[in-house]
Amino acid sequence: MVFDFLKGEFVDVISWLDDTRDTMVWRFDRRGQAIKYGAKLTVREGQSAVFIHEGQLADVFGPGLYMLETNNMPLLTTLQHWDHGFQSPFKSEVYFVNTTRFNDQKWGTKNPIMARDPEFGPVRLRAFGTYSMRVGDPGKFIKEIVGTDGEFTADEISFQVRNIIVQSASQVLAKSGIPVLDMAANLADLGKVIANAITPQVGEYGLSIPEFYIENISLPEEVEKAMDKRSSMGVVGDLNRYMQFNASESLSQPGGAMGAAMGAGMGMGMGAGMAQNMGPWGAQPGSAAIPPPPPPPAPPAATAARVWHLAENGSTHGPFGDADLARLAAEGRLTRATMVWSAGQDGWKMAADTELVHILDQVPPPAPKP
């Protein structure tokens, strides 16, 4: 009777169902850690069961249904020197290890990474992304990380994994030699290099990194603002043409200066026409009032001489009149290939493509050699 009672006190089925989504290891607790010989061990897909007997790792079981007998536990049998079957319980600790992937783990650099960019020189970079981890070697993970912790979560190891990732990412980005402007196109390749670099280190913990992603590599805010200004200048292009375009746009608006000027001119014209039709003192057309004679025409305004600007070695010179241009042509500073500009001209042009060609045609060729 007493023996049957003791047999009923020991567990018959050992299993683990987890719905927490972040538990990596869970220890099966039993009073006195007494497990009945012949008990059933159920290990589901995505799990492993690790037996610890008297502080030593005895066996690791993969997915399946097991009867805890000597023929199924060769290591445990060797430790205990059991040469034959028995009915008495044995005392061991059973740890269930979750071997599925723990996804959406975050990583990022706390401090900027100093790197040497071939275009901008020394720069500071920040990087962040995600990764997934899983237990690849349950026995090593128990020995190296978990120890005797009865419930071990992903948060307890993710901080250490992040430190390993950041260290390797800093070295890879600093030595990559990839220009900052081209890093976005090489995120996948950089991620593979970092993943390969951290694999041996996390493998010492019994872990593996199935997926690793770099979501973004960024520069300091002040550097990004400077790059935005530089990009804007590249989009604008010719500053003179851009200003002319803006001026024409503003003048063409109904409420702009051109609209106001046109409205005022139309008002003045209509007022003058009405005054002529009404006659003096508002008299009706056809009255005896004689209109005053029209004013004499104004003499034609003198046309200002056209001046020119020259571009030499990245800088502009001028303005130059016809006499100056003739002198420059004689000195050889003004040639057909010289870039010139004058008011009203659409951008810089070669002198040969402008009206200055008549000045160049008057320059005599070099004197013949004696």
Where is average pLDDT lowest: 12-21, 69-78, 213-222, 322-331? 69-78
Name which of 70, 74, 71 is nearest 60 in CA terms.
74
Residue labelled with tokens 């010989």: 37
Higher pLDDT, 265 or 217: 217
Going along 280-367, which residue ranges are E strands? 308-312, 315-320, 339-341, 349-350
Domain-wise residue ranges, the chain: 2-98, 102-223, 308-361
**CATH architecture of residue range(s) 102-223:** 2-Layer Sandwich (3.30)
Give the Cα separation of 55 and 254 in Å (integer).
89
CB atoms within 10 A of CB 368: 5
Mean pLDDT check: name the lowest of 1-5, 143-147, 159-163.
1-5
Using DSSP bridges, classify how beta strands 34-43 and 11-14 pair: parallel, antiparallel or unpaired: parallel
Measured CA angle at 42 (ends 40, 48), to 5 deg? 130
- As a dihedral over the C-alpha atoms of residue 343, residue 345, residue 350, residue 353, rounded to 10 degrees, the angle is -120
Give mean pLDDT, residues 127-150: 93
Residue 21 clears pLDDT 80, i.e. is over it? yes
**Residue 350 has which token pair?**
């070669």
DSSP 8-state code for residue 113: E
User: Which neighbouring-strand residues pair with 150?
Assistant: none
Asked if residue 84 has pLDDT above 50, the reply is: no
Least confident of 130-134, 220-224, 243-247, 263-267: 263-267
The per-residue pLDDT for 55 is 77
CB 16 within 8 A of CB 99: no
Cα separation, 83 vs 71, whole angstroms: 10
Cβ atoms of 173 and 217 within 8 Å: the answer is yes
DSSP one-letter code for 287:
S
